[in-house]
Amino acid sequence: MLFDISALVAALAPHGPAVLAVMALAAVLEAAFGLGVLVPGETVVAAGAAVLAGGPLLPLAWAAVAVGALAGDQVGYVVGRRYGPALARSRAVRRLGTDRWARATDLVRRRGFWVVVVARMLPGVRTLVAATAGAAGVRYGRFLAADAIASTAWAAVWVFGGAALGRVLLGPASWAVVGAVLLGVVVLLVARRRRVGVA
């Protein structure tokens, strides 16, 4: 076997507090500095949750990741508030598209609270929503309330979702899941080839 996931999880399991710290740090860094555009923090959070699945640290991981995401977003908000116009020319914004940044800023300005809550759940957009809120001049108290809800929900999805996925992949049903995925890929490839052949 090229990569033994079970062995990796078993090796990391005794280091639960360190895994938890890495998960929280990933949530802070990707939100604070827009790194989620390049490396989504969900990957680190879900993988860490798979390691902690079934253990007593999982609820604490949810709290730590939520606080980390919230803290990172506060940095993003301050950066957006202070350097708003300059952010439109940054690499992260150019990667997403300056037209999207302009539309997002306008949308956050008009409907700030719920946009912050919903956008935090969207990969790519999520890491810039705090800076967008700061640049759009959303009141800090309003932003903080929306972001607290959003960060808690985002952390719950990826911590508990990652733990559930870890249980499936490491449990007795793992080969059935892998087989179903492979079968699905084969069916899609065959269907695509037939469609191309007909065309």
Residue 128 domain-assigned (yes or no): yes
Boundaries of domain holding 93:
5-173
Residue with more model confidence, 147 or 120: 147
pTM beyond cutoff 0.85: no
Residue 192 domain-assigned (yes or no): no
Buried b (16+ CB within 10 A) or exposed e, 91-115: ebbeebeeeebeebbeebeeebbeb
pLDDT score, position 74: 93
Residue 171's SS3 state is coil
Among 10, 11, 30, CA closest to 154:
30
On the CB side of 74, how many CA atoms lie within 13 Å of its CA?
9
Residue 194 domain-assigned (yes or no): no
Look at residue 199 and tell me whether its pLDDT is greater than 60: no
pLDDT score, position 162: 86
pLDDT, mean over the chain: 77
Number of domain units in the chain = 1
